[in-house]
Amino acid sequence: MAKITLIGAGSVVFAKNLISDILQFPELSGSTIVLMDIDPARLETARIMAERVVRKLGVKAKVEATLDRRKAITGANYVICTIQVGGYKPGTVIDFEIPRKFGLLQTIGDTLGVGGVFRGLRTIPKTLEIARDIADVGAPGCTFLNYTNPMAMLCMAADHAVGVPMVGLCHSVQGTSQQLANYAGLDYKHVTYRVAGINHMAFFLDYKYRGRDAYPLLFNLLKDPAFGQDKVRFEMMRRLGYFVTESSEHQSEYNPHFIHHGKDVIEKFDIPIDEYLRRCESIIATWKKAEAELIGEDGDITVNPQTHEYGSFIIHSMETNTPRVIYGNVPNTGLITNLPDRCCVELPVLVDAQGLQPTHIGELPPQLAAICRTNVNVQELTVAAALTGKREHIYHAVMADPHAAATLPLDKIWAMCDELIEAHQKAGLLGGFAPTIAGTGRAYASTGDKVVVSLEPVRPLAEITGEPVEFELTATNEGNKPFSGKLAIEASPVALSAKAGALAIKLGAGETTNRRVVLKPAEAAPSLLVRAVSADERVLGRDYIFNPPRVLKPAGAGGVPVEVDFMANKLLKSVLTVKGTALELSGRVIDTAVKIDERSPWSASTIELFLRPARTGGTTRQYFLLPRTAGATVLNQARKPEKTVSFKVKIDKGGYDFVLRLDLGKLGIQGKAGDPFYLDLIIGAGALGDAHGSCRVGWNGKRNSASRSEHFALIAPQ
């Protein structure tokens, strides 16, 4: 006879139903029932309950109980899983309390959403342990029957990581089919249906009564003012055209259309916030009474007729070769063609002595496939986090969740996940995950573990003469581990006649060090590239490149063209003239969404102007020219209004025309008329037509501010 193992037998009410269902089949009445749980007291209650069921039914089944999971699975033909990792406290309480603090409300929180993600993260490792035990010590062909949520995540993870025969079982299909018959006033024994999708988001593709489409009866209920049942699910049927299998409590948090929209919507659709907490507390409060009823104070026990749970029917069909169709959660091997490959789908499954044989569905109606995919995204990312140990996928899963995304901005999603991870780890419910760069969705490995090294000249360079040049080397360890290594300095196209040698660098996680390095090019050169290199792949060097500035000579009435191109657009087209010490720049900027931000002008529409004297020791002046027709239009480097620079604009739908005027002598840029000076520009635009968003582009083709001399053009009026 079959050996049937229940993992999580301490869920005694459910275990009683499963055991009595199984043993009421005469062909299974001699089975060995093995009970396993991590709680000795709950396990003992389950053992007493099971033995009394056996006596009540008068069958020859054998009952065993053990705390050793591997022993329980050894030689088993079927393993049924009903575990809850973390329990009500601390697991479920953490899942609800921390999100609530961030403004994210939930109803059940066990399958999707942030609650489902974290229940999945703490449950997947245990599910994989069970699956591996089945593969190692279970009987040949041992079948894994999973009743634990989050169903799709657990089944998907086990399929990807282990691959034993497995089916996820839920009662929502058969339960909802009966509910619909009740709503429509139909005799259930004449109802037939076809359902497909994903767990808790499968849809009745057909719902028939005596062979005829009964959906019109369901849609008529929408017109009945006296009918107020299952409001969320009926609203989704109104919008999608099909009825979904799982409850309104669940549906309200699987979609972005309900809870997020506030109290009025919550009340309109009777959405019970924190419902799962209330259910758990009720069960806990009545556990002692339920326990007494289960095991029977007088040694007797009540055995109910077989339930509609699929577990016993699957085992009976496989043991007796009795064909049955059940609804199960299985890997999508081309079964639903418009859902992702190897995601977990729920659909009809034929069961007989050949095992589990899923039914090919083909395409779901496109709107149903689309809404299923929003849930599958979260499932796949949670499984990826659990199987790879990559912390970033935890953020990605919650970021993709429809309800969380509708409720919280990204920074709060990140902060909420950080708190949830910390709370779970503190409670011993989560292991370690590979860290990410703080506040990002990118792992340290290959990106955030770098030591970034840059070189900058202490004084601006004008030319490479062969004389020594003093550089400041900055090294920052952006990783979360200490770094110790050597850096060498390379230069091109000239050799360094006096090398700094190998610099020994030691940096703790997050630390920065600065060194002064004197380099001497072997000869004069028109350009210079300097960089720090290391054999350690963690070192990322930022090159310093010196190119002599362009020399522009505004002469005659035409002046000098100053243009900036971006993505085939003439972002700036203007002319520069210098008369005496008076500079004028006039032209046009393309900007179809002019926006001003005085607090961070570089992030909005602006012309950023840089001026520096050519003489040694001169400092760079920076101005933000804001394209608006009234008020302060020029800000200095301190973001204060600057009255010495004139900036006039005329804005239209395509951008703006402008005239910039200033006195180089009064600003200290020229000592006298005709002196050369350096100039650079950066153009920021709100948008470039319909196709392109904002941009920030330098005259030199770079986005960075003009802090190096090679970014400037040298204006030589004479």
SS (H, E, C) 626-668: CCCCCCCCEEECCCCECCCEEEEEEEECCEEEEEEEEECCCCC
Q: How far apart are CA 129 and CA 278, in angstroms?
A: 31
Q: How far apart are CA 116 and CA 125, in angstroms?
A: 15
Q: Which secondary-structure segment (H or E) carries 57?
A: helix 40-57
Q: How many CB atoms lie within 10 A of CB 643?
A: 9
How much of the chain is helix, strand and coil, in % rounded to 5? Answer: 35, 30, 40
Q: How many CB atoms lie within 10 A of CB 501?
A: 11
Cα–Cα distances (Å) from 59 to 52, 64, 399, 404, 436, in that order, read: 11, 15, 52, 51, 57
- Sheet strands side by side (includes 528-533): 503-507, 483-492, 528-533, 544-546
Q: How far apart are CA 394 and CA 373, in angstroms?
A: 18
Residue type, 387: L
Using the structure block, give the residue that is written with the tokens 């389950």: 46
Q: What angle do CA 248, 416, 117 make, to 5 degrees?
A: 50
Tell me the CA end-to-end span of the chain in Å, nearest whole number.
Answer: 105
Using the structure block, give the residue that is written with the tokens 């290199």: 533
Cα–Cα distances (Å) from 624 to 289, 598, 599, 654, in that order, read: 75, 9, 11, 21
- Give 44's Cβ-side CA count (13 Å radius): 2
Q: Are strands 143-146 and 78-81 parallel, antiparallel or unpaired?
A: parallel
Cβ neighbours for 597, distance < 8 A, ≥ 6 positions apart = 603, 604
Give the CA dihedral 689, 695, 698, 704, nearest 10 degrees: 180
Using the structure block, give the residue that is written with the tokens 């970033």: 392
- Does the annotation mark 711 as catalytic? no
Q: How many CB atoms lie within 10 A of CB 638?
A: 7
The DSSP bridge partners found for residue 471 are 457, 517
Residue type, 632: A
Q: How far apart are CA 346 and CA 348, in angstroms?
A: 7
Q: How far apart are CA 464 and CA 602, in angstroms?
A: 32
- Residue 453 near residue 473, CB atoms below 8 Å: yes
Q: How far apart are CA 37 and CA 58, in angstroms?
A: 26
- The H-assigned helical ranges of 286-323 are 287-295, 311-320
Using the structure block, give the residue that is written with the tokens 């986090």: 385
- Residue 665 near residue 682, CB atoms below 8 Å: no
**Structure tokens given for 222:** 């929408």
Q: Which secondary-structure segment (H or E) carries 677?
A: strand 677-685
The residues that are catalytic are 171
